């Protein structure tokens, strides 16, 4: 059943959780066990969890003896090939104490645009979860080119949530919630709830104006959240540090109300 409010995350049956590179790569890799502990608690109560995790390229860079993120596609792909292996290993080591096994799922936009590939991906993840395996999804950076990239994993997470008919989507960030202005602005106020039919054009979220050109930060989260909410999936945007409270249904972050007419919305009953 679709989570109609953030409180219902505590009882949602199928939840997609997305975490970004900056939250779990480099000096921030300490968060992986913390995030895993929260996912494991939800898993233990019977929820089906799908983790969409960025971080392959960022994790692989140190192993290639590079001082910064590469600009050329081939080196990015090489970093992803190395980093994805290390990233999954770190997740599996963190999951081991909880008796949970991770299953790696790598996707490109082509996989979700082709009906056969979509069906295959859904069938595989459905089976993984029926076996109580935790799918960890990432963009297949080793083969993805600019033309077949999702652009960001927030969008990938929204598409996976729709594909898997998730009850809720949780987008983890570096800030606790979305704000009306950049958080450093003294007049900035946290946004509690965004209605499904709210007009957000021109409104600022963090340092980015909605509908502006950009591939990261608050703008991509707003875009992905609206995309998922339009299909009837409730979305919470909050800090990776609050993932435990988020999955317990606490009043944290910014909640995007799901559209009642979305494909995952409950069917109307005759009066």
Place of tokens 């959780």: 17
- DSSP for 14-56 reads EEEEEE-HHHHSGGGTTHHHHHHHHHHHHHHTT-EEEEEE--H
Which two structure tokens, joined as six digits, stand for 222? 């707003």
Find out whether 18 is annotated in a ligand binding site: yes
Cα dihedral angle (12, 189, 159, 152), rounded to 10 degrees?
-140
Residue indicated by tokens 């109580």: 132
Q: Say which DSSP state 80 is in.
A: H
Q: At what angle do helices 31-44 and 73-95 cross, to 10 degrees?
A: 60
Query: Is 173 annotated as belonging to a binding site?
Result: yes
Is 153 annotated as belonging to a binding site? yes
What is the distance between the terminal CA atoms of the chain, rounded to a whole angstrom?
21
SS3 197: coil
Q: Write out the two tokens for 155.
A: 């969008």
User: Token pair of 41, please?
Assistant: 């608690």
Task: Name beta bridge partners: 106.
Answer: 138
Residue 141 known to bind ligand: yes
Tokens 């992905």 correspond to: 224
Closest CA to 183 of 204, 200, 206: 206
Q: Check: CB of residue 25 under 8 Å from CB of residue 59.
A: yes
Annotated binding site for substrate: 54, 141, 153
Residue ranges of the binding site for ATP: 18, 173-174
Binding-site residues from annotation: 18, 54, 141, 153, 173-174
């Amino acid at each position: 059943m679709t989570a109609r409010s953030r409180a219902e995350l505590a009882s949602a049956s199928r939840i997609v959780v997305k975490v970004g590179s900056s939250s779990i790569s480099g000096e921030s890799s300490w968060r992986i066990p913390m995030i895993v502990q929260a996912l494991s608690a939800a898993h233990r109560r019977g929820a089906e969890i799908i983790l969409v995790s960025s971080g392959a390229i960022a994790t692989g860079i140190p192993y290639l003896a590079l001082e910064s993120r590469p600009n050329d596609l081939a080196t990015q792909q090489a970093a992803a090939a190395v980093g994805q292996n290390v990233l999954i290993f770190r997740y599996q080591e963190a999951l081991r104490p909880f008796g949970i096994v991770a299953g790696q799922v790598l996707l490109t936009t082509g996989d979700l645009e082709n009906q056969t590939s979509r069906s295959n991906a859904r069938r595989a993840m459905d089976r993984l979860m029926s076996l109580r395996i935790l799918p960890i999804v990432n963009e297949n950076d080793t083969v993805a080119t600019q033309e077949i990239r999702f652009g960001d994993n927030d969008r990938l997470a929204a598409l996976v949530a729709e594909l898997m008919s998730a009850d809720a989507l949780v987008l983890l960030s570096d800030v606790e919630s979305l704000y009306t202005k950049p958080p450093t602005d003294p007049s900035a106020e946290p946004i509690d709830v965004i209605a499904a039919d709210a007009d957000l054009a021109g409104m600022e979220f963090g340092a980015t104006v909605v509908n502006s050109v950009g591939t990261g930060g608050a703008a991509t989260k707003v875009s992905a959240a609206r995309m998922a909410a339009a299909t009837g999936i409730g979305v919470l945007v909050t800090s990776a540090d609050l993932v435990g409270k988020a999955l317990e249904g606490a009043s944290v972050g910014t909640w995007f109300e799901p559209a009642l007419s979305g494909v995952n919305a409950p069917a109307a009953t005759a009066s």
